[in-house]
Amino acid sequence: MSLMVVSVACVGFFLVQRACPHTGGQDKTFLSARPSAVVPQGGHVTLQCHYRRGFNNFTNFTLYKDDRSHVPIFLGRIFQESFLIGPVTPAHAGTYRCRGSYPHSPTEWSALSDPLAIMVTGVHRKPSLLALPGPLVKSGETVTLQCSSDTVFGHFFLHSEVTFEELLHLVGELHGGGSQANYSINSTTSDLAETFRCYGSVTHSPYVLSAPSDPLNIVITGKYEKPSLSAQPGPTVQAGENVILSCSSRCSFDMYHLSREGEARELSLSAVPSINGTFQADFPLGPATHGGTYRCFGSFRTAPYKWSDPSDPLPVSVTGNPSRSWPSPTEPSSKTGIPQTPACSDWDLSGHDPLHHLLLSPASLVLQQKECCCNGPRACGGQNSESGGL
């Protein structure tokens, strides 16, 4: 199993350079796969054999497959520059090694490279991936990613673009006729705000993978100060009356997200600057049919999975017949108003003694800034330079 983890780490040329260069001498041999060692069935992958910390290609090299079910083409064949495999079949999955001949002495062959796992995806039915307790994770809290399948998988592999560089191997445990694996991540120590997928494979052929699960977006909340949420015409409406929920903030958020308690998905709308310098989005819920408790969040375009603290909860009650449907938003009503520079004229020092404000040391001011959305990706230039002078 440890062999497998090592080999999975060497997926692709750039990873090889980063993950493997310190394991041997100058002439350590590496096998790389482009564009990726994780290949969809029917796709293509290019293998190259490298030396000198991965900076040089071997012009002539041989390939070895570790398992017994050799794909005959590799036996005793010398490859030049690179080798393109494809269309890839499950028979191509497995670990490979290479050995190259040096240009200065063509009869001298290098040492055998570390193994590289070529994983072929799309062979089994996709597993499902869930976040527990949910995909909205409060900054500093821990989330469990749970991969499950209705067939028995001995292995699961988690894929992320940021949090782990390579597929993360998890042991599948029997669970109600299928398999399951949990992986807990603390959002303090990892940049979790991104998209995850998982794959499964059976015990005896670990590199023959399922299709990827549906993508799971993890959102970290609590990155910026909370917006405020209000209802028009008010939080209690007659059945059939049109309801608009307005989320607003003095922070220059690009997007607002409206969640309803008990609903898995959020509605998202672009923020529009208002004449009074706030940034707002109006969620038209249509004719009121059912009540619910709503919250909204703000985010910036540059970090779509990092959201503010939730607004205070807003209970909306409807006098009339209840229904289960979740209304979808129509286009946001365009607000009239002159776009203004972000309204960051005040620091959010609510709850603090005004005198204490004057006594803030630079260090505690930094702590205060973390509470202000103006410290977000779109910084509020004027205010930040003013505060720097305190």
CB proximity list for 370: less than 8 A, separation 6 or greater: none
Residue 337 Cβ vs ligand NAG, minimum distance, rounded to whole Å:
6
C-beta closer to ligand NAG: residue 106 or 233: 106
Residue 355 Cβ vs ligand NAG, minimum distance, rounded to whole Å:
26
C-beta closer to ligand NAG: residue 18 or 356: 18
C-beta closer to ligand NAG: residue 151 or 319: 151
C-beta closer to ligand NAG: residue 289 or 297: 297
Residue 231 Cβ vs ligand NAG, minimum distance, rounded to whole Å:
11
Closest alpha carbon to 141 in 196, 189, 195: 189
Residue 87 Cβ vs ligand NAG, minimum distance, rounded to whole Å:
20
- The C-alpha angle 240, 246, 250, rounded to 5 degrees, equals 175
C-beta closer to ligand NAG: residue 148 or 289: 148
Binding site for ligand NAG (CB under 6 A): 55-57, 59-60, 78, 81-82, 101, 103, 106, 132, 141-142, 144, 146, 173, 175, 180-182, 186, 188-189, 246, 248, 274-276, 278, 280, 335
Residue 358 Cβ vs ligand NAG, minimum distance, rounded to whole Å:
26
C-beta closer to ligand NAG: residue 120 or 245: 245
CA 38 – CA 40 distance, rounded (Å): 7
Residue 56 Cβ vs ligand NAG, minimum distance, rounded to whole Å:
5
The widest CA-to-CA distance across the chain, in whole angstroms, is: 88
